[in-house]
């Protein structure tokens, strides 16, 4: 995570000559010091994507002035754009069920300041991790999700997320399918870790599916949640080798290590504004 303070400028627009020149001239004209810059041009879609990291101290004005001044360029090139200030910590709400490996992993990174975020609360459909979470000084909300009470449960979750001004919702092996309404409300702001190498083994019990098929590697996929189950834009994936001697329980155990690593990597890309959406795909500026 950055030690200096940066503005992170991300944008996409129709590709044409002069985009980089316009942006970099604007930044240079104000003395902006660029520490990282990444471009991508999609030849099929004729669309251009960019991420710039600019030292806050190098500019003579603040983020609001940047927004105002930059908007002229943005309008000229028809940009979808966003600027973030790394001094403002992102607020991450974690949803968890009874499986704690991703929770331990994320709180461990938070405790070590490896992830420089605020975690205003953890929400769970079980009370399992209450005291563990509270020990960290983080609020814990037990919101059971029953078949009949599903709508009211998700109303509570959305209310909480709004109340704490959450930036991103992380489903850290939450094991519940969000309602359509929640999914469409927060596009690109809900991150899930699916316990298979998508698109293989969509849906329930992917490790048992993997065992049944006899695959030689299993994986995990970090993706944005959309109303289509396990079909959202993929942020990160990885795999681990298994063999015939691995029972479904052994696959589950090996898989957990991949899940937590992949979720942490995907979440980091998101938190550092390294992920740009392009239809149902992602551009990751590492």
Catalytically active residues, by annotation:
230
Region from 6-14, 20-28, 82-90, 184-192 binding a second copy, contact rule CB under 8 A? 20-28
Closer residue to a second copy, CB minimum distance, 40 or 156: 40
Which of residues 153 and 198 has its CB atom nearest to a second copy in the complex?
A: 198
Q: Which residue, 158 or 260, has its beta carbon nearer to a second copy?
A: 260
Q: How far is the CB of 243 from a second copy (least distance, A)?
A: 6
State how far the Cα of 274 lies from the Cα of 50, in Å rounded to an integer: 10
User: CB 181: neighbour CB atoms within 10 A?
Assistant: 12
Contacts to a second copy from residues 87-106, by CB under 8 A: 99-101, 104-105
| CA gap 284, 159 in Å, rounded | 31
Contacts of residue 129, Cβ cutoff 8 Å, sequence gap at least 6:
96, 100, 103, 122, 140
Window 195-234: residues binding a second copy (CB under 8 A)? 197-201, 213-217, 219, 233-234
Nearest distance, CB of residue 87 and a second copy, angstroms: 18
Strand intervals (E) in the chain: 6-14, 34-42, 47-55, 80-85, 92-96, 121-124, 139-142, 168-171, 190-194, 217-224, 234-241, 275-278, 281-284
Residue bearing tokens 């551009």:
283
274's CB contacts (< 8 A; 6+ apart) are 51, 268, 284, 285, 286
The least CB distance from residue 137 to a second copy, in Å, is 11
Rule CB under 8 A: say whether 17 interacts with a second copy.
Answer: yes
Closer to a second copy by Cβ: residue 100 or 166: 100
The distance of closest approach from Cβ of residue 79 to a second copy in the complex, given in angstroms and rounded to an integer, is: 16
Site string for a second copy, 104-143 (x = CB under 8 A): xx-xxx-xx-x----------------xx--x--------
**End-to-end CA separation in angstroms for the chain:** 13
Contacts (CB under 8 A) with a second copy, residues 226-285: 233-239, 241, 243-245, 247, 249, 253, 256-257, 261, 264, 278, 280-284
Reading the block at residue 268, the tokens are: 């980091």
């Amino acid at each position: 995570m950055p030690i200096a303070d940066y503005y992170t400028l991300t944008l996409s627009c129709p590709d044409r000559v002069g985009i980089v020149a316009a942006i970099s001239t604007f930044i240079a004209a104000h003395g902006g010091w660029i520490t990282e810059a990444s471009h991508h041009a999609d030849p099929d879609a004729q669309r251009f994507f960019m991420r710039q990291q600019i030292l806050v101290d190098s500019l003579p004005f603040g983020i609001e002035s940047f927004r105002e001044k930059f908007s002229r360029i943005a309008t000229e090139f028809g940009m979808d754009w966003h600027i973030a200030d790394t001094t403002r910590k992102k607020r991450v709400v974690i949803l968890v069920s009874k499986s704690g490996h991703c929770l331990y992993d994320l709180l461990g990174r938070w405790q070590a300041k490896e992830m420089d975020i605020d975690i205003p609360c953890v929400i769970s459909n079980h009370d399992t991790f209450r005291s563990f979470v509270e020990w960290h000084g983080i609020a814990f909300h037990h919101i059971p999700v029953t078949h009949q009470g599903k709508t009211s449960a998700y109303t509570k979750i959305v209310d909480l997320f709004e109340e704490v001004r959450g930036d991103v919702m992380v489903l850290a092996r939450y094991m519940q399918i969000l309602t359509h309404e929640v999914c469409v409300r927060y596009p690109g702001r809900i991150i899930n870790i699916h316990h298979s190498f998508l698109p293989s083994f969509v849906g329930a019990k992917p490790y048992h599916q993997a065992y049944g098929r006899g695959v030689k590697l299993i994986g995990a996929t970090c993706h944005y949640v959309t109303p289509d189950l396990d079909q959202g834009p993929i942020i990160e994936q990885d795999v681990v080798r298994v063999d015939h001697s691995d029972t479904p329980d052994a696959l589950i155990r090996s898989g957990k290590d991949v899940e937590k690593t992949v979720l942490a990597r995907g979440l980091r890309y998101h938190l550092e504004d390294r992920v740009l959406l392009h239809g149902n795909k992602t551009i990751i500026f590492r």
